[in-house]
A and B are shown apart, each in its own frame.
Chain A
Amino acid sequence: MLRDVTLGQYVPGRSPLHRTDARAKLLAGLCLAAALFVVNAWAGYGALAAYVLAMALVSGLPLGLVVRSVRPVLWLVALTVVFHGLFTPGTPWAGWGPFQITVEGLDTAGRLAVRLILLVAGVSLVTLTTSPVALADALEWLLKPGQRLGLPAHEIAMMMTIALRFVPTLLEELERIVKAQQARGADLETGGLLRRARALLPVLVPLFVGTFRRAEDLALAMEARGWRGGVGRTRWRAPRWALGDTVALAGSLLFFAWVGWRFR
């Protein structure tokens, strides 16, 4: 169950999408999000869906993997669909007593669902094809203009790298602890809400203790290797912007702009 989390997971590869500069991918991802919220016609969603699908094919990843990455938000999608379906006034479509599903409600719900799913799929494509380090570098570059306003761009990027880096580690640790307590007969899967919440204590306490221990170790290791923030730090592997990146980014942005303008 825990291994299903694809958030921030990176699948190494050599596809064109993998090789595109992380900054281009990050910007394209942001603009895709913007386009999704500007577009208001079904044809526009179709065009953006085609874009996401094309990128998924270019990435060479198994499509099932991209689909799986959407799974965590499906309950959110379901929730919005139910709320909008039930509580939007308009022409009734079906209903039982006080509960009326309206045509307008279904329409709004459908748009929201498509937006959410495309957004998550697009973002997942970025994280699936970009190594966490490259992603953090790109983020730092993106935040750089804010540095003059006192925004600690490097520190934020570093925190993000570390957080992403530790997602799988902590999941693994969580799984270990769950198993260790199950080996002692702990029952984590049945019972009411309160019972289950209390049953989590033997899992959460060791997880927190372990997380603090790791954090201390990491801080010590970083200091031992002379880390003192971003000032004057050079890069071993500087990202190189190629012509292909310009073409890909410009093409994507033009496409988003056209879709956004055409299907407002």
Chain B
Amino acid sequence: MPIVVKDLHYTYNAGTPWAVPALRGVSLTVGDGEFVGVIGPMGAGKSTLAQHLNGLLRPPPGTVWVDGQDVGAREGDLLAVRRRVGLVFQFPERQLFAETVAADVAFGPRNLGLAPDAAAERARVALGMVGLDYEALKDRSPFSLSGGQQRRVALAGVLAMGPRYLILDEPTAGLDPAGRRELLGLLARLHREQGLAVVLITHHLEDVVRLAQKVVVLAQGRVAMAGPPAAVLGAARRPQLRALGLDVPVAARLVDELNRRGWQLPGHVVREEEAVAAIVQAAAARRAPGRGAAEGPDPAAPGGSRPAAGGGDPGA
């Protein structure tokens, strides 16, 4: 069963001089076990959307459905929604509060009414999922850990609720490149091994392109584009993404740059590995004219010697 959002509107401070429309009719679906990237520039409504998915902001009845339950329904069981939809806020380490790591991670399960033993067991499993050693950390204060560890503990605190959907708001913000790679790897593993549906909210297309099965681009409170990464980030769409102030992934930029110099690489190539493969193939075709299907009849390409020099090395 999916999360379904239908024509969701939301305005902050409605009826005051500070009224700011944040969402103006957003519709999207997150399938069971699907990895969805939600991208958009600052102020596009990403975080507002996230808070509607587990009822922190109460959607109007009939606009947000989680596994068939209307989140906005009066008398609705919000705790049931929050158990199913785990929301990891930006800088989640800032919500840590307990004296020990074990107590903090067990906070969610305890709120669900689990007995101390069962909650502790959940905490142990959840810390394992984020790659931390329960025995070594359980009695330490969360404030004594490093920033990266704190973030994982906070993530474990949400995972311990046993959600089917994991929504993360800018989870890599403030991490160094290594920490970022690690965290994205962790998300990929949770998606693959636990079958979790993941909604990754970010303004880094780079993060999304590698992992997401579906990309939703938000701009000014509306869905500007949606679809598989290759379609949304395809060559035809890239100028539009740039206009929104989003950085197009490096691999796609390289493809665009080469095409401007007369190469004919397919525009739907956005992932690094695909780009490398396509470039190698095209370079090989250039070196042996006649055999390459796409590159053959192209004697007019400017700087004809350059691709030979550039393409020779990766091909070898």
What is the interface of chain A, defined by CB distance below 8 A to chain B? 3, 11, 61-62, 65, 176-177, 179-187, 201-203, 205-206, 209-210
Q: In the docked arrangement, what's the CA distance between A65 and B87, Å?
A: 34
- A11 CB to closest chain B CB (Å) equals 6
B173 is an interface residue with CB less than 8 A from chain A: no
Please determine whether B89 and A206 come into contact, CB atoms closer than 8 angstroms.
Answer: no
A11's nearest neighbour on chain B, judged by CB, is B17
Q: In the docked arrangement, what's the CA distance between A209 and B94, Å?
A: 8
What is the interface of chain B, defined by CB distance below 8 A to chain A? 13, 16-17, 51, 54, 56, 79, 82-83, 86-87, 89, 92, 94-98, 107-108, 111-112, 143, 157-158, 161
Please determine whether A183 and B17 come into contact, CB atoms closer than 8 angstroms.
Answer: no
Q: Which residues of B contact A185 (CB under 8 A)?
A: 79, 82-83, 108, 111-112, 161
Contact (A184, B97) CB under 8 Å given A65-B17, A179-B51: no
A213's nearest neighbour on chain B, judged by CB, is B94
Q: Which residues of B contact A11 (CB under 8 A)?
A: 17
- B142 CB to closest chain A CB (Å) equals 10
Q: In the docked arrangement, what's the CA distance between A11 and B54, Å?
A: 33
Q: Can you list 28 A-B pairs, Cβ within 8 angstroms, ordered by A?
A: A3-B13, A176-B89, A177-B94, A177-B95, A179-B56, A181-B107, A182-B56, A182-B82, A183-B54, A183-B56, A183-B82, A183-B86, A183-B87, A184-B95, A184-B107, A184-B108, A184-B111, A184-B158, A184-B161, A185-B79, A185-B82, A185-B83, A186-B107, A186-B111, A187-B111, A201-B97, A206-B94, A206-B96
Q: In the docked arrangement, what's the CA distance between A180 and B54, Å?
A: 11
CB-based A-B contact count at 8 angstroms: 61
Q: In the docked arrangement, what's the CA distance between A179 and B51, Å?
A: 9
Q: Which residues of A contact B108 (CB under 8 A)?
A: 184-185
Q: In the docked arrangement, what's the CA distance between A177 and B90, Å?
A: 11
Q: In the docked arrangement, what's the CA distance between A69 and B95, Å?
A: 31
Q: Which residues of B contact A177 (CB under 8 A)?
A: 94-95
- B157 CB to closest chain A CB (Å) equals 6
Q: Which residues of A contact B161 (CB under 8 A)?
A: 184-185
Kindly identify which residue among B82, B87, B92, B97 contacts A202, using a CB–CB cutoff of 8 Å.
Answer: B97
Please determine whether B95 and A181 come into contact, CB atoms closer than 8 angstroms.
Answer: yes
A186's nearest neighbour on chain B, judged by CB, is B111
Q: In the docked arrangement, what's the CA distance between A241 and B106, Å?
A: 61
Q: Which residues of A contact B79 (CB under 8 A)?
A: 185
Q: In the docked arrangement, what's the CA distance between A159 and B16, Å?
A: 29
Q: In the docked arrangement, what's the CA distance between A180 and B87, Å?
A: 8
Kindly identify which residue among A62, A184, A210 contacts B17, using a CB–CB cutoff of 8 Å.
Answer: A62
Q: In the docked arrangement, what's the CA distance between A84 and B274, Å?
A: 80
- A131 CB to closest chain B CB (Å) equals 15
Please determine whether B95 and A206 come into contact, CB atoms closer than 8 angstroms.
Answer: yes
Q: In the docked arrangement, what's the CA distance between A180 and B155, Å?
A: 11
Q: In the docked arrangement, what's the CA distance between A176 and B83, Å?
A: 19
Q: In the docked arrangement, what's the CA distance between A186 and B161, Å?
A: 12
Q: In the docked arrangement, what's the CA distance between A183 and B166, Å?
A: 11
Kindly identify which residue among B16, B92, B111, B112 contacts A180, using a CB–CB cutoff of 8 Å.
Answer: B92
Kindly identify which residue among B82, B97, B157, B158 contacts A206, using a CB–CB cutoff of 8 Å.
Answer: B97
Q: Which residues of B contact A209 (CB under 8 A)?
A: 94, 143
- B49 CB to closest chain A CB (Å) equals 14
Q: In the docked arrangement, what's the CA distance between A104 and B112, Å?
A: 55
Q: In the docked arrangement, what's the CA distance between A210 and B89, Å?
A: 15
- If A186-B107, A205-B97 are given as contacts, then 9 extra A-B residue pairs at C-beta distance below 8 Å, sorted by A number, are A3-B13, A61-B17, A180-B89, A180-B94, A180-B95, A182-B82, A183-B86, A184-B95, A202-B95
Q: Which residues of B contact A179 (CB under 8 A)?
A: 51, 56, 89
Q: Which residues of B contact A203 (CB under 8 A)?
A: 97
- B118 CB to closest chain A CB (Å) equals 14
Q: In the docked arrangement, what's the CA distance between A201 and B99, Å?
A: 11
Most buried by B among A11, A186, A210: A186
Q: Which residues of A contact B97 (CB under 8 A)?
A: 201-203, 205-206
Q: In the docked arrangement, what's the CA distance between A91 and B189, Å?
A: 79
Please determine whether A183 and B89 come into contact, CB atoms closer than 8 angstroms.
Answer: yes
Q: In the docked arrangement, what's the CA distance between A61 and B79, Å?
A: 41
- B198 CB to closest chain A CB (Å) equals 16
Q: In the docked arrangement, what's the CA distance between A186 and B158, Å?
A: 12
B93's nearest neighbour on chain A, judged by CB, is A206
Q: In the docked arrangement, what's the CA distance between A180 and B168, Å?
A: 12
- B222 CB to closest chain A CB (Å) equals 24
B91's nearest neighbour on chain A, judged by CB, is A176
Q: In the docked arrangement, what's the CA distance between A185 and B97, Å?
A: 15
Most buried by A among B13, B17, B51, B112: B17
Please determine whether A65 and B82 come into contact, CB atoms closer than 8 angstroms.
Answer: no
Please determine whether A210 and B51 come into contact, CB atoms closer than 8 angstroms.
Answer: no
Q: Which residues of A contact B158 (CB under 8 A)?
A: 183-184
Q: Which residues of B contact A210 (CB under 8 A)?
A: 94
Q: Which residues of A contact B51 (CB under 8 A)?
A: 179
Q: Which residues of B contact A205 (CB under 8 A)?
A: 97
